[in-house]
Amino acid sequence: MGILDSLAGGLVVSCQPLPDEPNDPMRDPYVQARVAAAAVAGGAVGIRANGPADVAAIRAAVGVPVIGLYKHGHAEVFITPTPELAVQVAAAGAHVVAVDGTDRPRPDGRVLADTVAAVHAAGALVLADVSTVAEGVAAVRAGADAVATTLSGYTAASPRRDGPDLELVAGLAAAVPVPVLAEGRYRSTDEIGRAFAAGAHAVVMGNAVTSPLWITRRLSAATPAGAGRPGR
């Protein structure tokens, strides 16, 4: 069974500290590896992780596919924005490297196909994080092995919404011949079911499973003591 085949019909758990919280106590490769192991024990069929250190620690701790990425820089394109960073993630042990698959300019001036070629040469697969159907189609043409709805709501081409973009899942499933991973603001079993009904190959959940800081913020915002605080 191939790496992507093993994800079919399952839940992939994203184990990442909050990017806007440099002092998040969860920001530690050992901690993230333990979180990932717990997620796998609970039934996760794959793990998504950020940075070579976390990828390496998680790869050593679990027996399921690891989707690695490298958030870097402050440009619009910051999810594994260059071939060099993508190769570092593959070298750390990622079975699949997630990269920005949008049509926005990359900080190094190169194109998605350059990153795809570098990752394939390193022996890993490529997951293109996109925000529109057109971007997904273009990413597959560039050689991506799978696409994900991760960036819906985070680009000028896609509307911001509170919940997941199920329309994009359905649109991609109808338009591309590769697996479509539903990712972005999935928080409930109902949303998971709706994603699979829309054609998702797998569903990725992150903060709603793995971030005590994010979960507690949302819950405490509903209390008298926490009223008015941001519940992200």
pLDDT in tens, the chain (232 residues): 799 999 999 999 999 988 777 788 899 999 999 999 999 999 999 999 999 999 999 999 999 999 999 999 888 999 999 999 999 999 999 999 999 999 999 999 999 999 999 999 999 999 999 999 999 999 999 999 999 999 999 999 998 888 999 999 999 999 999 999 999 999 999 999 999 999 999 999 999 999 999 999 889 999 998 776 654 4
pLDDT value of residue 178:
98
187-194, long-range: CB < 8 A, 24+ apart:
187/163, 191/163, 191/164, 191/166, 192/11, 194/164, 194/166
Dihedral pair phi/psi, residue 12, rounded to 5°:
-100, 130
CA 35, CA 4: separation in Å to the nearest integer?
22
- DSSP result, 147-159: EE-TTTTSSTTS-
The whole-number pLDDT of residue 75 equals: 86
Which residue ranges form the domains of the chain, and what is each CATH number? Answer: 5-220 (3.20.20.70)
| HSE value, Cβ hemisphere, 13 Å, CA-based, for 231 | 14
Assigned token pair, 28: 């530690």
- What is the structure's pLDDT at 67? 98
Helix (H) or strand (E) holding 126: strand 125-129
What pLDDT score does 232 carry?
45
- Indicate the pTM of the whole model: 0.94
Q: Give the pLDDT of residue 229.
A: 60
